[in-house]
Each structure stands twice: as C-alpha cells, then as structure tokens.
Amino acid sequence: MAPDSFEIVVGLEVHAQLLTQSKLFSPESTAFGAAPNTQTSPITLGHPGTLPRLNRKAVELALKMGMACHCTPEPHSYFARKNYFYPDLPKGYQISQHRSPLCGPGWIRIAGEEGPREIRISRIHLEEDAGKSLHDQDPAFTCIDFNRAGIALIEIVTEPDLRSGKEAAAYLTELRRLVRWLGVCDGNMEEGSMRCDANISLRLKGAGDLGTKVEVKNMNSIRHVHKAIEAEARRQFAILEDGGLVCQETRSFDAGKGESFPMRVKETADDYRYFPDPDLAPLYCSPSWLEEIRSAMPELPEARTERYRASCGLSAYDARGLAEDRETGDYFDSVISLGADPKAIANWILGPVKSWLNEHPGSVLPLSASRLAELSGLVLGGTISFSAASARVLPELVRNPDKTPVQVAQSLNLIQDRDQDRIGVLVDQVLGEMKDKVLEYRKGKKGLIGLFLGEVMKKSGGNADPRLTREMLEKKLGGYPVGRSPKKN
Amino acid sequence: MTEVNDALIGHLSELARLQFDEAQRQEIKKDLEGMIGFVDKLMELDTEGVEPLVYLTPNLNMFREDKVLAPLEIHEVLKNAPIHDGTFFKVPKVIKKNNS
C-alpha cells in the first residue's frame, strides 16, 4: 500500500468562548487571568436551589456567527443537560444544545490547496464551559479552578470535509478571522479561548465509507492542529499497512514530541442521558429579532476583499491583506473616504504602517486617517519621496501628532527640489563628467540611468525630486524615455 | 416492558456512581419495575399528532442582560469542599499520562 492511495478525512469541532462580560447562565465576570475560584457563584458551583438564567448577548453573538457562516438560525431550540461525572463539572451535567442547536447547516469558504473550497458546517450551538483541572500543581491531588465553569461557548462543528492538516489550518485561520471580525471571540488558542478537537480517519481514495475515527484533543495553536493531524494520519497509516485495525479512542497531542498518546479508553459507550433542562425556558428567535441582528451585521471579510479588488482596483493579494482584520480594513476605508488614492494607501498600510505596528507590538495605529491621507498626498504630488516619508516623516509624526506632515518634512529638510533650472544645471554637470558612460548609454546600456540619477541626487544633497530628475536625464540623453526607446536590431 | 435485571441495575449504579448491596438491589428492582410499568401504561395512549409537551409554562427566552455582579467570596466558595487549600478545590488525580 502506498500512502497516496489513502486520503485523510478530518472534521473539526471548535469551541469558542464568547466575548460576553458575564457567564452564560450566571453573572460572574469572564475576565481571563483572575485568581483561582474568585469568579464563581452558587449557580456555577451547582448549589441546590439555584436557577440559571440565559445571557441575551451570548445568544446574539452565537446568531451573528451563525449568520456569518451561512447557517440557518433555528427559530426554536432548547437547552439540555448532558449528564456525566467529572471533577471540573460541578453540577454533574453540562448545559448544552446538543440535541437542538441554535443554528443549522452552513459553510465557510477557505483557501484550499487547489483553489477556494467550501467547508460545510453541520451546526453551531451554545453551551457552557467546564472548570479547569490542573494536574501538576500538587503531587497527590488534581486542583480545580471553577472560574472558567459556566463561560459561554459556541461549538462550531464541520462535516468531515477537510483533507489535510494544511486544510484544517486554513479553515481555523479563516474561522479565527471571522470570530475576531465579528467580535464574537478573541480567537486566542494559546489562552484557550478558542479550542479545537479533530476527528481524524483514513480511507482508501474513492471509498465512500469513512474509516474508524480517532479524536485528538489538546492542540493549542493552529500549527499544532496541522502537525497533530499529519502525525495521526501517519500513525493510522502504519497500523493499516501492518494489516491492523485503528481503534476508536480519544488521544491527546504532545506538542513537544509531535505525537499523540491515548487519553482514555472508554469501557462502555457514552451514556449522557440528555434531557431538556427544566430550569431554563426554551429559546425562541422571532423573525424580527433575527432581522435586527442581521441588519446590524458588519460587512464580512469576503465581501470586503471583493470590494477592495473590484471597486478600489487593488490586487487580490493587497485586498486580502487589508481585509485580514477589521481594524486594518476600517482604517483603510476611513483614509480613502478622505479622497486619498486607494492603491497608494494600500501600499502605505501594508508597508510602513504594518512594519511600524510589528516593531511596536500592542500599539494602536501610528497615524490618524487624515494624517496618512496628507502624507500620501505629499508623496504623490512629488513634494517628498516615499522613502523619506516612510522612514523619517512617519516616525516623527508619531512622536508629534500635532504637527502636519508638511511641517515635519520642512523641519527635517525633506522637501524635494522641483526647480527645473537648478536640477538642469546638475544634470548637465553630471553628464559632462561622465562622457564615456553617456556614450555607453546611447549605445543601449540603458541601465546606466540609475548611475546618472544617483550622481545628480548626490549633488543635490538628496533633495532633487527623483522622478523629475529622471525625466530630465532621459530627455537630455536620448530625446525619448528609456522604457520606450526603439529596439535595436 | 424493559426487563429490570442485574445488568441494567449495574449500569445505572455505575452512571450514578452509587454502590448497593444485594438487599438494596432487590428493593431497587421492585421500585424500577413499578416506575417503568407506570410509564409503559402511559405509553398505551394514542398520542398520534399530539406535539410533545416539554415545558409546563408558556415562558420563552427568560433572558438576563450581560451584566457582571459580585462573585462569591473565596471562603464561601470553598466552604463545603471536602479538601481544599484556600485557593483550589482538591480531588483525587483524574488523569494518568500513558505514553506506552
């Protein structure tokens, strides 16, 4: 058997913590990083006589995500108890919509290995998070922190549509962009606010039935998901190649070793005894409520990318770069709304502005929209060069937000000289000093234009407008611009 | 009618994390048979075309707004815990790493 006679089949279950202030059924804070067990209540701890009450915002965020994934919201859904005993589950059951999801089938488009692909979402539902077990704090005991218990989650489940670790990574990247774009979840896998379980199986190419699946958990970055799927596919292939059978089990990924180990072997089938939670009223999404949420939906990344490409004339690459996150896209929009040139602004944002942000992590955007529009206008008008504007004016403007780009350029002596008489003198001087090179140029060595330009720039102290200088040099040297000179036979 | 046998009682007691002696098992068997018989009696009714009634009140969407209220004080939180260290609840080790 050859590895390429098999195909990898992957379905992902992603749990995303919703960006609500309080928990799904109780009013404690959801802030990350508080001291253990300081964000709990009798409801979270499952004390008798308590009554959970549903957080409206959580439902709205889940519906937003559903709409962004082209899912159909179910008008009627309810919460059920999923019964099992585990120390991080204080009530002995998890409240979930396992049997009655808030949102039905939909899809997310990803950049697949052979072009865009639509990955089917089977459902999106609401449920509460469990507490956190810490296994290495104490040699004799497992320590439990219930701060996380009861935090609102959505579970986003795909059909088994992914065919490689790389595709799974592309799906998660797109999903993370969406949750961040909508403000539904911060998408931080390292801190566990977005978690992913992968169901992985192999089958012979062309086979209809799915192979035995293995569930892999505990992958806390997109890169780990990618690696874990590849490692699990290799492990299963080795078993099948030996004539063995893959055992259905849950495994945990060890990122250090790059391999998974069995977490628990279930002796009996799961028996969660789901039943509707009598403490919670059923959920009804009226058409008017759904319409209210739909009409407040922001322009989504795909539509934004398409708009940048089609109506701003940007390349697909630049359009995608600007729509990478909503802040960047909104910034671009506010700059061009001031009448700035879209292509120039795209270059500014994806170039110097992005570099500045990378060098200053955690900072807000360095320039207001109007300052960037002014700065870009100065470059387009030839008043200052792009390199001077990005390397010197930009950092100075960040330090002095009250100054205008022109003031900064003046104080740094960066205003370009566009005086044809002054530049003409320098052009004549340079060409006079370099007669041999001028001859070579005229024989066809057009690349020498850079040398002449450099010399004139040097003599001008760097102030001559390079574009104007180049035009003047070309005119003087041949009577026609270099690029358009007639070809020699 | 579902037969209430040792296997069923064993399964239910495992799910409930409870242990029973033989005398208790006999009693449970009798109780369960009574309960299941009662439900089986109800099942005889023709409910064709009747929507299942899940909730007894007509209430829908009993929402609360997304507001944070003061949490429980840590000493209150841990008050009923059999074992704690003032910060964490402590329970027997629940995971064994098995790399073999």
**Please, what are the domains in chain A?**
3-288 (no CATH), 299-411 (no CATH), 420-476 (1.10.10)
Partners of A283 in the beta sheet? A77
What is the Cα gyration radius of chain B? 23
> Is the CB of A149 inside 8 Å of chain B's CB atoms?
no
Q: What is residue A331's predicted lDDT score, i.e. its pLDDT?
A: 95
The pair of structure tokens assigned to A339 is: 């009448």
Q: Under DSSP, is residue A262 helix (H, G, I), strand (E, B) or coil?
A: strand
pLDDT of residue A416: 80
* Shortest CA distance from A268: residue in chain B: B11
pLDDT over 70, % of chain B: 92
**A415 φ, ψ (degrees, to nearest 5):** -65, 130
Higher-confidence residue of A365 and A175: namely A175
Confidence of residue A264 (pLDDT cuts 50, 70, 90): low
pLDDT(A202) > 70: yes
Q: What is the pLDDT of residues B24-59, one digit of tens each?
A: 999 999 999 999 999 999 999 999 999 888 888 889
B14 contacts in chain A (CB < 8 Å): 268
Quote the CA–CA distance of A259 and A146 in Å, as a whole number.
30
Chain B partners within 8 Å of A40 (Cβ): 71-72, 77
Asked if residue A113 has pLDDT above 60, the reply is yes
Q: Is residue B81 part of a domain?
A: no
Q: Give the pLDDT confidence score for residue A66 in this predicted structure.
A: 97
- In the structure, what pLDDT confidence band is assigned to residue A268 with cuts at 50, 70 and 90? low
Q: Does B75 touch chain A (CB under 8 A)?
A: no
Alpha helices in B44-98 (DSSP H): 74-78
In this prediction, what percent of chain A has a pLDDT beyond 70? 96
pLDDT number for residue A112:
78
How many Å apart are CA A345 and CA A316, to the nearest integer? 15
Give the per-residue pLDDT at A484: 45
DSSP class per residue in A149-187: TT-EEEEEEE-S-B-SHHHHHHHHHHHHHHHHHHTS---
B95 interfacial to chain A (CB closer than 8 Å):
yes
Q: Which residue has the higher pLDDT, A484 or A461?
A: A461
| CA–CA min distance B29, chain A (Å) | 20
Residue B41's pLDDT is 93
Question: Higher-confidence residue: A175 or A267?
Answer: A175
B62 in A contact zone (CB under 8 Å): yes
Residue A307: per-residue pLDDT: 95
Is the torsion defined by CA of A383, A385, A386, A388 positive or negative? negative
pLDDT beyond 90 at A165: yes
Give ipTM to 2 decimals. Answer: 0.88
* Residue recorded with tokens 């909104």: A330
- B83 — pLDDT class (breaks 50, 70, 90): very high
Which DSSP symbol is given to A145?
E
* pLDDT tens for each residue of A221-249: 999 999 999 999 999 999 998 988 998 88
pLDDT score at A269: 60
Which chain B residues are Cβ-neighbours of A137 within 8 angstroms?
88
Range of the domain at B33: 6-43
Contact A57 B65 (CB under 8 A): yes
In angstroms, the CA A306 to CA A299 distance is: 11
Going by C-alpha positions, the residue among A187, A183, A189 that lies closest to residue A61 is A183
Query: Residue A130: its pLDDT value, please?
Result: 96
Domain count along chain B: 1
Give per-residue pLDDT as tens, A335-379: 999 999 999 999 999 999 999 999 988 888 888 999 999 999 999
Does the beta carbon of A355 lie under 8 angstroms from any beta carbon of chain B?
Answer: no
CA distance A322 to A478: 42
The verdict on residue B15 lying in a domain is yes
pLDDT in tens, A379-402: 998 888 898 898 889 999 988 888
Instruction: Report the pLDDT value the prediction gives residue A218, as an integer from 0 to 100.
Output: 82
User: Coil, helix or strand for A68?
Assistant: helix
For the cut 60, the answer to whether the pLDDT of residue B99 exceeds it is: no
**Average model confidence (pLDDT) across chain A:** 90
Of A22, A262, A271, the CB nearest to B15: A271
**Res B96: pLDDT:** 54
Q: Are A318 and A345 in contact (CB under 8 A)?
A: no
The answer, yes or no, to whether residue A95 has pLDDT greater than 90, is yes
pLDDT band of residue B1 (cuts 50, 70, 90) is low
For chain A positions 70-109, those within 8 Å of chain B (CB to CB) are: 78, 83, 85-87
Report, as an integer, the average pLDDT of A53-76: 97
Average pLDDT over residues A322-329: 93
Residue A401: its pLDDT value, please? 85
Report the distance separating Cα A59 and Cα A153, nearest Å.
10
